[in-house]
Amino acid sequence: MKRSASTVTLGLVQTSCSANPAENLKKTLAQVERCAKAGAQVISTQELFRSQYFCQNEDHANFKLAESIPGPSTDAFCKLAKKHKVVIIASLFEKRASGLYHNTAAIIDADGSLLGIYRKMHIPDDPLYYEKFYFTPGDLGFKAWRTRYAKIGVLICWDQWYPEGARLTAMQGAEILFYPTAIGWHPSEKKEYGVNQHGAWETIQRSHAVANGCYVAVASGAIGESLILANAAAEGINYEKGWILGTTATVKVFIDVFIGIWAFVLALVWCAKIEARPGEKIRAREIWDRFPKFVIGYVATFTVLLVVCLAVPGLAGGFDVGRVRPGAGDGAGRVARAPTTIRPTPQMKSSALTGRPSVRRPSTLSPSSGGTRLPTG
């Protein structure tokens, strides 16, 4: 089998989304370009980046968000891939035919060519994740594509809970498994089950890397605010755009200022009552020296961020860049860019790349879910 380059740099784009598909596409293209300029060679978007997560309810109007593949979005990504000589994985809502829709990832090589597509096989149907209303299960099977920099496999979100998908993809020679994802907690469950659910999610990703001797990279769109909005809307509450982010920043400012003020009060009491000599007055210079300067920094920083976020809702977003060595695993399912890039064990590498089963049984991993319902995505 032809070996890939010794080191491959991955870029994972994770952004907030507005209600405007064109705006989201433009933002994601800009983030992909940032990744490329930062040195990334293989770049993945989050799941369904062109819109807010619309599967929180069953609404026929949302089918208007779908597009053909090839189509406008793939054309834009192909052009960008060719310009920067990067591989791009773009997650899209595909309209295959009238009444036939898929949750699809397009794989674009560094020369700008569309190598192929993967259609999500496992479709969830949970509260606020009504994906079966929108998506037909994929019919293309699990595949691996030889790109300019590495042989990669692509699965999508809910596929991550099924080990056979990762196994079948790795057996075709995939050195890196990408999972464009949109995952989160149900608002009513996070407090009680959040820690265990996150632990289960991370454990299953690690297990794919360990069992198959390949890297696992996850670009997850944060849909927490969307879930809050959907839950609130169900109760007749409609927040203005950007309100939640603005409120969070405001609360953060007050908490940090509160801590700083009490730290200053304690320092003042210490100077006046404990360290001060009889009849000695506290000098203004000493008060200033003891004043916690971080309070000023917090106020200034969060005030600026608050103003910017309120002025441009949905501005928050970013990307992650990390390096992996295909065919040379050096960890034990460790999280390299927590929790986005997961490394394999060296001893499992050959069996995954050749399709031969390993005679060495992996260590038993105790479920971290504690018997709770797993997060959906």
Q: Tell me the three state secondary structure of residue 376.
A: strand
User: What are the backbone angles phi and psi of residue 353, rounded to the nearest 5°?
Assistant: -80, -25
Task: Find the largest Cα–Cα distance for the chain.
Answer: 88
Q: Report yes or no: 33 and 13 within 8 Å, Cβ to Cβ.
A: no
Catalytically annotated residues: 47, 120, 157
**Distance separating alpha carbons of residues 209 and 71, to the nearest angstrom:** 33
Q: How far is CA 310 from CA 17, 250, 265, in A?
A: 15, 11, 33
Compute CA 18 distance to the chain's CA centroid, rounded to the nearest angstrom: 16
Return the beta strands (E) in the chain as ranges.
8-15, 42-44, 87-97, 100-108, 114-119, 125-126, 129-130, 144-146, 151-154, 176-183, 215-222, 317-324, 341-342
